[in-house]
Amino acid sequence: MKRVVLVASSSLLLFLNANSLKCEKKDNRVVCTYFSDRSDGQKEIKLKFHWISPKSPEDDRTREVSIPPYYGSAYDYRFIPGRVPGHWIVKVTPGDSNESVSSSFDLNESDDEFFSN
């Protein structure tokens, strides 16, 4: 009985991560990882990461990234030094779709040593 519950829980976690975006601070950068619900593992998936700055359009960035065949995720990152503090939004759009997935994070001067100039 315990084995069935464990398998069901693992399957549910994989289902919840399908076509999702997770951003987190790691060392001196913010890493955003897109998890794809792959139905065809032999085809490359093109993604467009769009980083939207809270205050300065000059700090926005759009970057194209690919998920290689047989992989289920891809990531993009930005270094924290030099970024505008505030509420950032990251959107990822698969190349074959008009639907996007978004995530957000906050960079604050008060709790981050990277803004001490």
pLDDT tens string 60-90: 999 999 999 889 899 999 999 989 899 999 9
Question: What is the pLDDT, as a whole number, of residue 116?
Answer: 36
Q: What is the predicted pLDDT for the residue at 114?
A: 45
Question: What does the pLDDT look like over 10-58, one tens digit per residue?
Answer: 344 444 456 899 999 998 999 999 998 876 667 888 999 999 999 888 8
pLDDT for residue 7: 40
pTM for the model: 0.75
Report the CATH architecture of 2-115.
Answer: Sandwich (2.60)
Whether pLDDT at 117 is above 50: no
CB atoms within 10 A of CB 80: 18
3-state secondary structure 83-103: CCCEEEEEEEEECCCCCCEEE
